[in-house]
Amino acid sequence: MAESPPHVPAPSRSEAKAESRKRDLETLRSGGRSADEINAANGVLARVAPNRIRIVAVRRLASEPGMK
């Protein structure tokens, strides 16, 4: 049987943002996408993520002892 790969910890949020920024710059330099396309994609993510964060926070607060 093949060995399972070693556990690789998930990158921190700042590391993930830096990696994403680096990929965007490489894409721009290679001519894969324009800056407008990259900014539009990042803007969509920025609008979606806060909504998800708020929903998670509301659920967590509602499940705390003493909250109804």
**5-40, pLDDT tens digit by residue?**
666 676 688 888 888 888 877 777 777 677 777 677
pLDDT confidence of residue 17: 83
15 found inside a domain: no
Domain with 56 in it: 34-68
- The verdict on residue 58 lying in a domain is yes
The SS3 call for residue 31 is coil
Residue predicted with more confidence, 45 or 12: 12
The pLDDT value recorded for residue 26 is 79
What pLDDT score does 37 carry? 76
Q: Specify if 47 maps to a domain.
A: yes
Q: Report pLDDT for 19.
A: 85
Distances 54 to 11, 34, 37, 50, 58 between C-alpha atoms, Å: 22, 31, 27, 6, 6
- Of 48, 45, 55, which Cα lies nearest the Cα of 24? 45
Q: Is residue 18 part of a domain?
A: no
Give pLDDT, residue 63.
55
> What's the pLDDT at 43?
65
